[in-house]
Structure 1
Amino acid sequence: MTVPLKKNSVCEKIVRRKLAIFVFFLECILLILFKAFGAYTSRADGSNIYNSIEPLFGGFNSRKFEEIFRIYSIFQDVHVMIFIGFGYLMVFLKKYGYSSVGFNFLVGAITLQWSILCQGFFELTDDYKIEIGLMSLYRADIATAVVLISMGVVLGRTSYTQLIVMGILEIVAYSANNYLNSTIFKAVDVGGSVVVHSFGAYFGLAVSYMLGRSHNNSSCFKVENIRESSYTSDLLAMIGTIFLWLYWPSFNAIDLDTDKAYRAIINTYLSLTASCVTAFITSQLTFTDHKFNMVYVQNATLSGGVAIGASANLMVEPFGAILIGFLAGALSVFGYKIISPFIEKHLSIEDTCGVHNLHGMPGLLGGIAAIIMASIASEKQYHKTLYEIYRARASPVVSEPTEYIHLEAGDGRTAGQQAGYQTILVLVTIVMSVFSGFLTGFIMNFKCWNQVTAESFYDDAVFWNLPKNELEVENLKNYQITVTGKLYNSQNILRMSDVERY
């Protein structure tokens, strides 16, 4: 008896061609939008006269340009996280490596462009232009991270066009949520524990729920070893883990300066070390054979960077940073061991990469930590920096000496009031992410996006040309033959002595 491979039919070729044309036209639309709204920031505009004259006569200070290379260095750290860190972290699926890295690359490139536009629409100049500078680029990277987090939830069960549609819609929802929380509520989440990580996680879970209603994922669960990893794929995924672990301090500190940036780097560094140690310990303790689990190590080790994000620039002290990392590591492993199986079994929500355990719950933990820190923040701890961190806490009328001239008028909030707005940030983000995720999942179920059938889940062969020798191996793996009166599948064929005798 044989189990046939998927056929490369004429119909499938036509569908794939249409999908490519769709992406081409999408890029053309982005091109038109950049032509209509895009403009260089003043520091990059060659027509700006202040770039041509000496500072003594009113031109831009040339020393300021040294800041470009400092910022660009941190920006590149985040860029590496997006395309190497996230990309390789998802290659643990042994038959989905091309798609994990490739779709991460494609979706990331499109959403980078779209997020520059989306976030820029909230900051249009008087002549309706979007000024594009380094700040625009790194904010686009952060927004793209949200999409890639959600992508980890539905990885292997969607076509690349569905992922692009998800990214386009999610960037709109993320930009609106970020504007609402930072500009209207004036809540603070510098490292994105809630507005980036939790938003991406719960948006992805909502999308997964809607896709599950359409695909009837139960048929997928019955396919043996369909989400299995291999020694090589897990080793490659660890490359992503290490890159993310190394560069996470830059992710949390990229939008900060002075003492706030110092604290963000130190706090993130310490929190990551604690979550790493905790992930190894709890991984070994939670299994009956008391051995390390690679899935836990790949993901839970990073949870400290997620959890410390919302309070990375705050005076949590070294002890507090390590405590947050310790709790995040334990919470993440608990999620993989208990929570993920529960939501998959009882809520029919499949989470391919365990995003809820790495980003969702640790992000909420970080949000809670930020609420606590906001409630006790005072001038005794921060001096006047308090009003740079929590701008809404500054007095409506600023009458400080000249050395504090950089301070801006605020709303005069108390510590308790600011903590209340931090709580609102958490609640609003969860509601917006889930609601927009449901809506996006509904749209992704439209037939025009070429849905992937359950039989084709987690398989590169659907969208990629695979090496010939790889196809031959997969062909062998899909055969079952009878040897000496017994039925063997390909996994047993390669190791049973009966085959040699046959």
Structure 2
Amino acid sequence: MAGSPRRAAGRRLLLPLLCLFFQGATAILFAVFVRYNHETDAALWHWGNHSSAANEFYFRYPSFQDVHVMIFVGFGFLMAFLQRYGFSSVGFTFFLAAFALQWSTLIQGFLHAFHGGHIHVGVESMINADFCAGAVLISFGAVLGKTGPAQLLLMALLEVVLFGVNEFVLLGLLGVRDAGGSMTIHTFGAYFGLVLSRVLYRPRLEKSKHRQGSVYHSDLFAMIGTIFLWIFWPSFNSAPTSLGDGQHRTALNTYYSLTSSTLSTFALSALVSRDGRLDMVHIQNAALAGGVVVGTSSEMMLTPFGALAAGFLAGMVSTLGYKFFTPILESKFKVQDTCGVHNLHGMPGILGALVGVLVAGLATHEAYGDGLKNVFSLIAEGQRSATSQAMHQLFGLFVTLIFASVGGGLGGLLLKLPCLDYPSDSQCYEDQVYWEVPGEHEDTAQEPLRVEEPDTQA
């Protein structure tokens, strides 16, 4: 026992060492492989005799800005609802996303943009890296407050690789359409995090029960995240779609779906409470389910009515999940989902994938006209029927669930390595474990971090 403080101090040094090592490794890989694409490289752009006004930067960068705000402000503040974990929610979001952007640029580049021995990057690769960071942050929400930063860094290291492979299989090999990422981002990130949380299950987490809730001001901070996400979600879904009618349609469908999920959330929140009062947890999260549910189908001819119907159903499913299913998830399945990612991203993501299956199965040349080649190029070229495309969409959902489940299990085993520190059961959801909190005693921070023996009955 005398050596435990030294062991704890040694584990604390692991984070800066990992940061320096991973940053050095990515810098070397960038130097060897990463180059500007033809629209970014000064020499190549002028050789092509293009007009500067035609550069894709001017069309994509506004969407990128919106997505970037969602990742760093929206996700960060949405998770700041815990009364004693605000520094960690916002700070670790900042930390994980910054790493994921670099690492995913490499992984996605090797899989999608590797030509002539180099990865070619531009504004589109920036958007795709942000999408990958979004999946990592969704998984982070499932284990929020129960993991250390070194563990989270390793989680991101593994998840970014699996995200890239899953995305390559779905979008590249299977020809699945998933513009807003109902499958590749939300479903993958949610179930990766949920399985990870199951492997890291803490049977004695009630020791930190008093810090698991929110207070008035922490819920207000979380609502800031909700509003940012809600406002910019049309950009999130439309950012990677083809310019013109496809992007316009995607923004409209997301816009209407979000409004509908908000109304259904307010209605269900009041109906399921004992006295008809609203629950801020529902409003913060379930109101966003409309953006998740149309992720796959938003670029398709969903119709404004279809967007409203999908959003309304997603808001209902998400609200009921927070009220009834989250307690069952922990008591019966031993999954401690801190942020309720199963309700906001998991179930609406699956529902969104199924909506995509339905809308893809109804695709016709009459409905899409010449625009069919921009949404379903294989159908337009006669290589695949609408029914076949729908079956590929459904198969893509199963592939995503397999990648996420296996990846989450492997991630849980990785995060259980004895060299990694994490807060003990009594230290969870507490900023002082990893942060200097001004104006407060440091009794909690002085308590050495312990790697506890796993519960054999978990």
Q: TM-score, normalised by structure 2?
A: 0.93
Which has the larger Rg? 1
Confirm or deny: 8 A CA contact 2:261 2:314 kept in the other structure: yes
> Separation in 1 of the partners of 2:420 and 2:50?
49
> Structure 1 residues 218 and 419 mapped into 2: Cα distance closer, same or farther (>3 Å)?
same
> Separation in 1 of the partners of 2:410 and 2:220?
36
Alignment of 1:28 onto 2:24: yes
Identity %: 41
**Match for 2:8 among 12, 23, 32?**
12
- Regions of 4+ moved over 4 Å: 8-11, 472-475
Partner of 1:185: 174
> Separation in 1 of the partners of 2:405 and 2:204?
25
Alignment of 1:384 onto 2:374: no
> Separation in 1 of the partners of 2:11 and 2:404?
31
How far did 1:124 drift? 4.8
Partner of 1:263: 249
> Separation in 1 of the partners of 2:186 and 2:361?
23
**Match for 2:419 among 445, 448, 471?**
448
> Separation in 2 of the partners of 1:174 and 1:386?
28
How far did 1:228 drift? 1.3
How far did 1:226 drift? 2.5
For residues 432-458 of structure 1, give each alpha carbon's deviation from its aligned partner in whole angstroms, at most 9, with x where no partner exists.
111111011111110122132111111
Alignment of 1:326 onto 2:320: no
> Structure 1 residues 442 and 242 mapped into 2: Cα distance closer, same or farther (>3 Å)?
same
Partner of 2:151: 162
Partner of 2:274: 288
Secondary structure (helix, strand or coil) at the match of 2:210 reads: coil
Partner of 1:245: 230
> Separation in 2 of the partners of 1:165 and 1:299?
27
Look up the equivalent residue of 2:213 and give its one-letter code.
E
> Separation in 1 of the partners of 2:273 and 2:443?
33
Confirm or deny: 8 A CA contact 2:8 2:421 kept in the other structure: no
**Match for 1:199 among 188, 193, 199?**
188
Aligned length: 441
Partner of 1:348: 334
Look up the equivalent residue of 2:32 and give its one-letter code.
A
Alignment of 1:59 onto 2:55: no
> Separation in 2 of the partners of 1:415 and 1:472?
62
> Separation in 1 of the partners of 2:99 and 2:442?
34
Q: Which runs of 5+ in 1 are unaligned?
A: 1-7, 396-410, 476-502
**Match for 2:409 among 421, 438, 444?**
438
Range 156-165 or range 39-48, more displaced? 39-48
Confirm or deny: 8 A CA contact 2:433 2:444 kept in the other structure: no
Secondary structure (helix, strand or coil) at the match of 2:240 reads: coil
**Match for 1:37 among 26, 29, 33?**
33
Secondary structure (helix, strand or coil) at the match of 1:369 reads: helix
> Structure 1 residues 170 and 474 mapped into 2: Cα distance closer, same or farther (>3 Å)?
closer
Q: TM-score, normalised by structure 1?
A: 0.85
Confirm or deny: 8 A CA contact 1:186 1:391 kept in the other structure: no
How far did 1:233 drift? 0.3
Partner of 1:231: 216
Confirm or deny: 8 A CA contact 2:266 2:283 kept in the other structure: yes
Q: Which runs of 5+ in 2 are unaligned?
A: 446-458
Look up the equivalent residue of 1:441 and give its one-letter code.
G
> Separation in 1 of the partners of 2:279 and 2:173?
44
**Match for 2:386 among 415, 436, 451?**
415
Range 221-230 or range 372-381, more displaced? 221-230
For residues 375-413 of structure 1, give each alpha carbon's deviation from its aligned partner in whole angstroms, at most 9, with x where no partner exists.
111011101211221122133xxxxxxxxxxxxxxx621
> Separation in 1 of the partners of 2:396 and 2:138?
19
Confirm or deny: 8 A CA contact 2:196 2:408 kept in the other structure: yes
How far did 1:10 drift? 5.3
> Separation in 2 of the partners of 1:362 and 1:137?
26
Partner of 2:453: none
Secondary structure (helix, strand or coil) at the match of 2:120 reads: strand
> Separation in 2 of the partners of 1:64 and 1:321?
32
How far did 1:284 drift? 0.7
Confirm or deny: 8 A CA contact 2:262 2:288 kept in the other structure: yes
**Match for 2:349 among 340, 363, 367?**
363
Confirm or deny: 8 A CA contact 2:34 2:120 kept in the other structure: yes
**Match for 1:254 among 239, 243, 250?**
239
RMSD: 1.7
> Separation in 2 of the partners of 1:124 and 1:270?
34
Alignment of 1:108 onto 2:97: yes
> Separation in 1 of the partners of 2:375 and 2:356?
12
Look up the equivalent residue of 2:139 and give its one-letter code.
S
> Separation in 2 of the partners of 1:309 and 1:16?
40
Alignment of 1:471 onto 2:452: no
> Separation in 2 of the partners of 1:364 and 1:225?
33
> Separation in 1 of the partners of 2:176 and 2:272?
38
> Separation in 2 of the partners of 1:394 and 1:22?
48
Confirm or deny: 8 A CA contact 1:445 1:451 kept in the other structure: no
**Match for 2:428 among 457, 477, 494?**
457
> Separation in 1 of the partners of 2:316 and 2:369?
34
**Match for 2:128 among 126, 132, 139?**
139
